[in-house]
Structure 1
Amino acid sequence: MEVYEEAVDYLETYGVTVTAEREMEPDLLEDVFEVDFASCSLHADSIDLPDTPTGWTPEVMLEKRLVVLISILTSEEQYLSELETLLMPMKALRAAASTSQPVLSSQQVQTVFFQVPELRDLHQEFYTALKARLQPAQSQEPEAQLQHGDKQPAAVGDLFLRMVSQLGVYRGFIDNYEGAVEIVRKCTQSDQRFRTLAESMMSCKVSDNSRTTYTFEALLYKPLDRVTKTTLVLHDLLKHTPQEHQDHALLQEALRISSSFLSGVNEESHCKRAVTLSTGMRRQLMRDGFVVDMYEGGRSIRHLFLYTDLLLCAKMKGGTAGKQVSYRFSWYLPLAGLKLHWGSEQEQSADLQSRVSTMRGKMFHLRQELKQQRRGGKGYRTLDRNRRKLQQIELWLLTHSPVLPLELQSPNGKSHTLVFSALYELEEWREAIEKLIGENAETVAPDLLTLTSSCVKLRMTQHPHLQSFEPECEDRSLCGTLTVAVHSACGLPQPASLYVCLEVDGYKFYDNKAQTRLSLSSLTPQWDEEFSLQVDGAQCLNVLCVQQTEGGKSGREDKVQGRSSIQLDPSVILKKWKRWTVSMNHAEVHLSLKYLPHPLEPPSTAPVQHQPVFNVPIGVLAQQEGVLVPHIVRSCTEDVERRGLEEVGIYRISGAASDIQILKNAFNTSLREAVSRLRTMDVNAVSGALKLYFRELPEPLIPRDHFQSLADALENPDMRSRMQSMFTILQSCPDVNRNTFLYLLHHLKRVSEKQEVNKMTLMNLATVFGPSLVRPPEMVLGQCGPRVDISQEVVVQVQVVYFYLQSNNLPVPLTAMPLDSEEEADT
């Protein structure tokens, strides 16, 4: 495929170095990282480009740029017509393959048209978007277009960057090209029907609507030619785009990616190397990306390559000061027998937490400065310098802030640990690796030098995923508060204990992750929890449904049962709730979203303190958690219902005081840690912790000023009037108190349904909880008022709870605040 070598030579004659990239200035690193930058030496990629042609004013350049864009649109239309012509006989050939006289076999049809539909879809999307951007400019005649600067099209750099980021689709076509051409040539010689088809394919030209005759083989060559033209067109467009133009940096990055892809294909055309396994299968690259590799004494960003039979970890070298990109071998693990384990979150040292907070603060202020500079029309060099500073900060955070480990253990005793920022990404890698482990039968020892060298031409990911690499799109991203209410799930094949994880993309200087409590083992788990996330640049919400099961000595094991992603559209969820149903595997998770835009405050450098749970007014705690029934009440009652309903004397027999204290400290420190400990504790300790929570409330669940009213209502001899009074008093309680009380009553009634086993009748339960839930007013010095003796107080406390427990029409409690004006939306 000499066309690639010719294209590279052509670019070099115009001063475009395909792989040469400029080096980050030393003072830039010192400016961003005042101390201890040695632990993160990776820097962002860029490309040296020719200077703007001398003598051209920005106005002249914009005029020529418009002409280039219109010619690109025309060329795309022609290319799409050629791809459609190539695809035209596909359906007929595929249908004939199942008859007694096929023209091509099904396998041959698949080989001949491999990746062509995907190429057509890729360019159709690009053409449609580009045409929409150019519509105002195309509405005038060419002469008029060049005279009206106000008809210049909107920015298009993001379209080109998105298109070249998907050039990996072409690699499959290129790898398959020789086999497809061989089939076409053989069938053209041996089958008259195919020869007639192959020599008379037509395409409709756009300019004059005339028809051109192509051969099948000529149409198959069009995508190869297109790869070269894409790089040349980007070079031409960039040459006519002023450096101050908002498209310049995006086109610069697009040209770098396109040139790198072209260079890799050119290398591959000269030296194709592939390991053939004894089964006849070729080693293929299935996935690659940048990850954080953790080793003794530190962590580094590495490029991870997942092949059909092994994992290869390599360090990227070069790419600056004219040096070509290369890879240095770090380690590899065969997939056969490989064990994967998603470990618990790693704890960061106080010093690291402080440094992360400092870097997040720097990133926040640098982004604000960049926005002001863009509005003020600052020069390209200033903007580029600050943009690269931002990239360096992101790289540092990408290296040091991840806390989710994926442990890889090989049968030969070797092990490595990768750490991720998002559970969604971790699960993508785990799923891809485990799928290949299940399909893999053997591993052939690789030629590590050859395999590592081939990474340059095989790689599909060019650089770490940084938000600062993405085009600016403030109208399509979220900056402010994203509120997510997680309601319930349904469609589970069997009962399970689940929790839901939420992850939002964007700049990572706020805590943009959240997790529900663990639900009771159920086919239809209910959470009804609300989370407010401070987001900046957010465009995507990841939703993961995680199951927790018994895990032997470890006490628990977590496994992702399903995951999905929601594209966040600010206009859809702006200031109003939108209900979503997220499908994942067999389950559906129901949630609601609402977005409130507002300027963000600089991130605090102080570590986030978890608010205590015990000895805090229940209204304050519920407000902090965004619920009507606190998590501790729901978690403890659900755990009792899961494994304590048949425990004799549950709520009457207390657990060990030390265990209850451990649970109390856990709830005061971390809800997630507390819920995990519940599963390993004696169930009597769980019930004891719940009783202790109600006992230590500063104000009882039933407010003290209702005590006398309840006592009077109990003395009413008329049953109907007594019931009306009791429920009127209950209705007058604050929302959180009333709903928590009702939630507890329904739970205790379910406990009493097993009284033949657990010996806990409604009266027994009322005797246990009455003194904690209903308390008389405290006597104030010098104040006179009605006062009953202690024995009467206890009677009232027990009788109040017993009365409500006996009721057959208890209202159903709300666990979260109802959402206002919800609208339905499907995901």
Structure 2
Amino acid sequence: MNKVILKNEDVATIGVRGNRDRCRLILYPDVIVCCCLKTKLLQSPKYGILWFIPMIDLHWTAPLSPSNDDIYTGDELKSNLKSSYKELEKIPKSQAVISSRLSKAIRRQENEYNLAQSKLQLVLSNSPTTSSSRSSIRFVILFSSAYQLQDWTDSIDKTKQELVERSSTLLNPVNTHHQRLTDSLILKRLEFVKPNLQEHNPHDSSLMPKPSKTYSGTLHITIHSIHGSALFSPILQQQQKFPTLASTTKNNYQFYVAVEIDSYNTFYPYAQTAKQAMRQQESVEFKGEVFQVELEYSLAFRLLIYRFDTTIKNNTNNNTQRSQCIGKFHRNIETALHECDRDLNGILTIESPSSDLKLKISLKYSKREGTFKRTGSKRSLAVFGKSIEKLLSTPNGCIDGIPRIILKCIEMVDRDGLKETGIYRVCCVTSDLQKLRHQFDRNYHRGEEMLTEKNVHVAANLLKLFFRELPEPLFTSTLYTEFLNAIQLTDIDNQHVILLKTLESLHPDNRKILFYLLDHLIRVSQDSDINMMHLDNLAVVFGPTLMRPSKLIVNNYFFGSNQRLNAIGTNTPTDLDQMSSELQGSMYQCQVVLACLKLRRDGLLK
């Protein structure tokens, strides 16, 4: 009996009735098994079989479009997670039992949130997709990240290839291999599968894994280059099959790197480099592309290297073949930052297990500050750093009371970005964004022309940058305390009344721009089943951007409450007070924007 487990992970699946379930997917050398944990853990085996497919019969496809099943987006789940993380931060290290119990609850919430965010599909069947046999079966597995999906497809491909190579008799139709893989045999194998610690004994807090250090701030990721024979070795294999293409095939490929970062233990796509050709043998340079990523309780990042075939037309039938993942890396943020610090040049070299692929990057982390540098621009023609009042009074600076730059960016996102995964969350190359910003300040019309030449993520990031550099936040510093007082009210009806009243106090120009932006973000959220940007994610992106005031206001507002909580009897704020107030302020800012989005969506904010 084959007890070797090659891969074993909890995943999301779509059931027969279209509902989502969490199950355990196990890959053996000869079979892939989907099972679920039994309610009574004293039974043996502890898992029950949902289905299994012999590896020799297994076929898989990964549709490009995400799952469109109706599923709760996870807004409330994420809000609950935020509260739990904040509560965990306040618990003293001496209270280990309470901390462990809360950690256990957080893990359950993270699993539920991950289930809601899983959209990438892997379709497994026992026959080719073109087959219409009555005996064919088909199952859909869902993943939250491209890395996780790629990891499973790589393992399945490798396992099936090794199985075929080990025994050519498996290709014989009269082979009795299928008869040996019975339910009873699979159940015997499952006796050796141990549940997760939190599943096995949920009442024993001593078995709970200790929470790792998380990061909430800004991570600057610089992609330098990729090297190795893996860049072209698959191409050489093709050249052996098609010798006539040997002189041109290598030049038909470009390469790019995609970045995924976790938030609340769920990974999201955050950035992607421009496609670059191989200028030197076994080397691709990315000209030091820098991405500025806002972290939110993040632990790790993932990098995927893709090879892009420029000869294949972009259509439904062939698009799946255009980009092929040739390498993937997973790194802990804390460890990677230390490795960068130890290098004299601040460069981290990540190498594949087979040493055929190397990726060079740099990382720089800065803590989340309590304020943006909201300083006004002295240039008369400037667009960035100019107050709303001055911008609206500039000739041709607005259209129907909306600054032109806001209008143009939103028009571009409405036209090209509503179906883009991670719109407003995915960052663009920092240098490209700054060049476009300076062009708008020098020559507005040329800036608009350059914007039309960029991809939609540049427009989305430019809009965020505009609001971030306003000398006065859109919600205004004057009303900041009132907004935060309102959002902390536990009575929801009273909270809505106070928020609506405070919004009425906004200057009419600010209110008109805010409503225009909220309407746009609501349109974006309506395609959240595709772009993964539901209202909560959008509020996280735009909360500090629209609300964060001067540091003076944040300090004055929060230090008093922190001192009361700590009861330290001193009026001097500590570094811990400063950090706590900044994180707490950021959380409240996101909650205010989320509440406004929901009020506008429900027709209560007019």
Normalising to structure 2: TM-score of the pair? 0.48
Larger Rg computed on CA atoms: 1
Identify the structure with bigger relative contact order (alpha carbons < 8 Å, sequence gap 6+): 2
Normalising to structure 1: TM-score of the pair? 0.36
